[in-house]
Structure 1
Amino acid sequence: MSEKTSTVEAHSRGRHAAESQPREFHSAEPRSTEPHSTKGAYVTGGEFTRDTNYIEDRITRDGTPGPNGEPGWPAGPGRYRLIAARACPWANRTVIVRRLLGLEDAISLGQPGPTHDARSWTFDLDADGKDPVLGIERLQEAYFRRFPDYPRGITVPAVVEIASGAVVTNNYPQITLDFSTEWTDFHRPGAPRLYPEHLRGEIDSVNKRVFTEVNNGVYRCGFAGSQEAYDAAYTRLWNAMDWLEERLSGQRYLVGDSITEADVRLFTTLARFDAVYHGHFKCNRNKLTEMPALWGYARDLFQTPGFGDTIDFVQIKQHYYIVHEDINPTQIVPAGPELSGWLSAHGRESLGGSPFGQGTPPGPVKAGEEVAPGHGAG
């Protein structure tokens, strides 16, 4: 749909205030004198605040505009490519939902490497350093093809139209919801209902608190630019973690009796907690492994097809410890933590519920999308 020429500002009205644009990369130009360094791009002083602007185009069943006037693009197999780095928790959500719903054959997947400079994510793990479908070296090429003067971060996840090579949307909270509600014609038989209508109010409420206090809360701790900002962020994070511990002590999943969008959104933060956030982001009151309900819940999901088989701990650590020069100027990647506990018995079945409700588990990981040997918990 390369004929769409409206500016990014027209598509970025700050909707979805409960979630804001991920800053896995967010600085158009580095403040450092070193070419393309990320120094000064993350810790800028005081409280960390996210950009709330997205490319808000929607991919809908028939391409009709969204309820708030967002430009619509029609869903269709083979038309779009999801660009989602394994390292990024916001991108990881889209990979999990795509797999749970069985959309692998409808939407192809491109995966940048775990590190980047201040310009863009790169396809350095692919042959010749180019995405094999889009033929580009940097994700910014897809953004600039749509918006030559794109002024914001070149973020993942992003959905790109293959024919034009232009980015369609990077509105990550909406992407997974649309996978569930607008791509139903292409779901696999037995796909779970991740956003059922009768639970949407509760899911949205839980998602809002999880995002503001946990998903974004760990970043608010890690990127705090003052002691006062860090102390406030730390208190908010652990208040929410204690709330989750209590909530999950008596129920297997966050909302209802089966996995929903809410579980996907919390899981990607929990999977990175001890490996990255506990030390790197100074979220160190205790480890996830020291919270019985949350640790059991995280292991339950990790061992569920579609969750743990998307987690690459090596790339996760490489991304955070190498890219965030403001926090880790040596760029040394730690060897730990020990990961085998992710595969230990969790006992959460005793709380009832069924992971996929009336649905079924997804099949094996699509060939070529497997986590590399030695990068998981096995």
Structure 2
Amino acid sequence: MSVDGAASALQFPREADARGAFVRQQSRFRDWVTTDGSSDHPAAAGRYHLYVSLACPWASRTLIVRRLKRLEEAIGLTVVDPLRDARGWRFLPEEPDPVNGFAFVAEAYAASDPAFDGRVTVPVLWDKQAGRIVNNESTDIVRMLNSAFDEWGDPAVDLYPEPLRAEIDALNERIYETVNNGVYRAGFASTQAAYEEAFEALFETLEWLEQRLASRRYLTGDAITEADWRLFVTLVRFDAVYVGHFKCNLRRIADYPHLDGYLRDLYQQPGIAETVNLDHIKRHYYMTHPQINPSRIVPRGPALDFDAPHDRARLAA
């Protein structure tokens, strides 16, 4: 492909290197909600609001942790339209923004940083009292939800326990680079070499995960941690979207016995199924990436049964 051809094939031209590889932009807002008064955003019930898309895996991480920590009453939530256009994520007439009356998430970015000119992403954690975005990095938001709001949530749920932090961090690093972001690096590549590099790293890690999960129920053992939920949001989208749309088609998750059972085990945890909306997921990917799917036709399949038995409990110690 010529240089001009590669450029025209880019879904996000500003997020690519000279080789045609996708290079995700850095999150703009990285402030923290704290319990000790060390930041401008003290933990409080009712002060913060999450803007998410049910289609977006990064946003889904935060939605899952909010649910598991039982923070529904403490932190508000608004779900945006899964169909994103040139103006970015928009609020639906049936679920308008209850905090600011914004029509688009881009307005939250402009209110927080008028000079921002990057791609508007979700999730967004909004401080209603300060009138600005606290954070738009899902990794940070997950950690805040896990510990900063325990006074109003369930302190018994700890997805980042101290004894496992080094192991969780190492897992997150590899899984993010080659799986979570790896599917995007394959799907948004504009050269064969960049695609194949991402493709090979993705399936090498999936095979490594398959072997790891052959002898343990979850990634670190018997307890579910944030590493599992970070992986889950990619796995649950994989066969429906990434296999075809992002050309990640060496194998499906259904072709990995241990990964497939692990996916169903996580999906069947209380409250998780309600965070997964395959209609939003499929319509978002197939209808909002015109460089990849110019017809915007959404496939009818595949048939997926996340409620099927998984037999993973036999691996518990």
Which of 165, 175, 180 is the aligned partner of 1:215?
180
What is the aligned partner in structure 1 of residue 3 from structure 2? none
- The answer to whether the 8 A contact 2:89-2:105 is kept is yes
**In the alignment, does 2:150 pair up with 1:176?**
no
Which of 139, 158, 163 is the aligned partner of 1:193?
158
Deviation at 1:53, TM superposition (A): 3.8
CA gap 1:113/1:140 in 2 versus in 1, 3 angstroms: same
TM-score (norm 2): 0.92
What is the aligned partner in structure 2 of residue 274 from structure 1? 239
**In the alignment, does 2:87 pair up with 1:119?**
yes
One-letter amino acid matched to 1:122:
R
Q: CA RMSD in A?
A: 1.9
CA distance in 1, matches of 2:210, 2:257: 8
Which of 305, 312, 315 is the aligned partner of 1:348?
312
CA distance in 2, matches of 1:152, 1:186: 34
Which of 282, 289, 292 is the aligned partner of 2:257?
292
Structure 2 matches for 1:120-199, cutoff 5 A?
120-126=88-94, 130-188=96-154, 191-199=156-164
Is the deviation greater in 163-172 or in 311-320?
A: 163-172
Deviation at 1:125, TM superposition (A): 4.9
One-letter amino acid matched to 1:48:
F
CA distance in 1, matches of 2:131, 2:60: 22
Deviation at 1:80, TM superposition (A): 0.8
**In the alignment, does 2:17 pair up with 1:52?**
no
Deviation at 1:207, TM superposition (A): 0.6
Deviation at 1:164, TM superposition (A): 4.9
CA distance in 1, matches of 2:258, 2:157: 24
Deviation at 1:40, TM superposition (A): 4.3
CA distance in 2, matches of 1:266, 1:125: 32
- The answer to whether the 8 A contact 2:51-2:77 is kept is yes
Structure 2 matches for 1:237-316, cutoff 5 A?
237-316=202-281
Is the deviation greater in 202-211 or in 167-176?
A: 167-176
TM-score (norm 1): 0.78
Deviation at 1:188, TM superposition (A): 2.6
One-letter amino acid matched to 1:151:
D
CA distance in 2, matches of 1:307, 1:159: 21
CA distance in 2, matches of 1:132, 1:39: 35
What is the aligned partner in structure 2 of residue 331 from structure 1? 296
Q: Secondary structure at the match of 1:330?
A: coil
What is the aligned partner in structure 1 of residue 4 from structure 2? none
Deviation at 1:166, TM superposition (A): 2.2
One-letter amino acid matched to 1:46:
G
- The answer to whether the 8 A contact 1:39-1:325 is kept is no
Which of 71, 80, 83 is the aligned partner of 2:51?
83
CA distance in 1, matches of 2:93, 2:83: 10
CA gap 1:40/1:207 in 2 versus in 1, 3 angstroms: closer
Deviation at 1:182, TM superposition (A): 1.8
What is the aligned partner in structure 2 of residue 21 from structure 1? none
- The answer to whether the 8 A contact 1:62-1:73 is kept is no
Which of 312, 319, 326 is the aligned partner of 2:284?
319
Q: Secondary structure at the match of 1:343?
A: coil
CA distance in 2, matches of 1:172, 1:81: 14
Deviation at 1:162, TM superposition (A): 2.1
What is the aligned partner in structure 1 of residue 37 from structure 2? 63
What is the aligned partner in structure 2 of residue 232 from structure 1? 197
- The answer to whether the 8 A contact 2:10-2:188 is kept is no
What is the aligned partner in structure 1 of residue 169 from structure 2? 204
Gaps of 5+ in 1: 1-30, 33-37, 66-71, 354-378
Deviation at 1:210, TM superposition (A): 0.5
CA distance in 2, matches of 1:213, 1:135: 38
CA gap 1:265/1:125 in 2 versus in 1, 3 angstroms: farther
One-letter amino acid matched to 2:148:
E
One-letter amino acid matched to 1:241:
L
CA distance in 2, matches of 1:87, 1:53: 19
Deviation at 1:57, TM superposition (A): 0.6
For this pair of structures, how many residues does the alignment match? 308
Is the deviation greater in 236-245 or in 41-50?
A: 41-50
Is the deviation greater in 110-119 or in 219-228?
A: 110-119
Deviation at 1:143, TM superposition (A): 1.1
What is the aligned partner in structure 2 of residue 41 from structure 1? 12
Gaps of 5+ in 2: 1-6
Deviation at 1:186, TM superposition (A): 1.7
Is the deviation greater in 213-222 or in 42-51?
A: 42-51
Deviation at 1:41, TM superposition (A): 2.5
- The answer to whether the 8 A contact 2:11-2:291 is kept is yes
CA distance in 2, matches of 1:53, 1:314: 27
Deviation at 1:256, TM superposition (A): 3.1
Query: Any idea what the Cα deviations from partners look like across 1:248-305, whole Å, max 9, x if unmatched?
Result: 0110001131110001100000000000000000000011111000000000000111
Q: Secondary structure at the match of 1:167?
A: strand
